[in-house]
Amino acid sequence: MAGQPLIYRGQGFSLRRDKNRFVLPNLFRGTVKASSGDKPILCLAKHESWNCLVGYGLSRTQEFEEIIEQERQFAMQAGLPFDRDMKAMTLYNYHEIPFDGSGRFVLPEDLAILAEVEDQLYFQGAGQYFFVFAPDALAAMTEPQFKGAQVSCASLAKAELKKAAGK
């Protein structure tokens, strides 16, 4: 597996638990840790245009300058304006959040406000990163491409709420 890209795939769901913590799903936990130099550090940032968060490991931040340069080149070739400072501010405005061996982490208040998170999180793999939605924010997305994630979120939420009610 050495040299293989770290890919986030699948879905997960978490309810806010004791001590104001959510749980990073096991499906994402190992990839985040591997991407963070075997440290339990989750990077979360507000998505540039959607009402959700973007998650990844620390190694993704090493690609930010390359991403900025690629977008600058694309804008130049297309004759579009490009604000390097704004793009850098967007990319580098992330939180490094520790999580424990069970994946428990505390979501910073500013990120919760920005993504309208209350007491539930839906995780959706997207290759080099993953999205973290508040279920209500995801349900409000009207583009048909979100339908699969909306159905998965509702199904996972139902199962987690049933499990929590049984405790």
Contact 105, 42 (CB under 8 A): yes
- Report the pLDDT averaged over residues 70-86: 95
Q: How far is CA 104 from CA 17, 19, 35, 45, in A?
A: 9, 10, 18, 18
Q: Report phi then psi at 63, rounded to 5.
A: -95, -5
Read off the pTM: 0.91
- Domain ranges, ordered by start, for the chain: 11-165
Q: Give the confidence band of 111 by pLDDT, cuts at 50, 70, 90.
A: very high
- CA angle 7-32-112, nearest 5°? 110
Q: Give the confidence band of 166 by pLDDT, cuts at 50, 70, 90.
A: confident
DSSP strand pairing (41-46 vs 21-23): unpaired
**Fold (topology level) of 11-165:** Chemotaxis protein chec (3.40.1550)
User: Which residue is listed with tokens 């939420």?
Assistant: 157
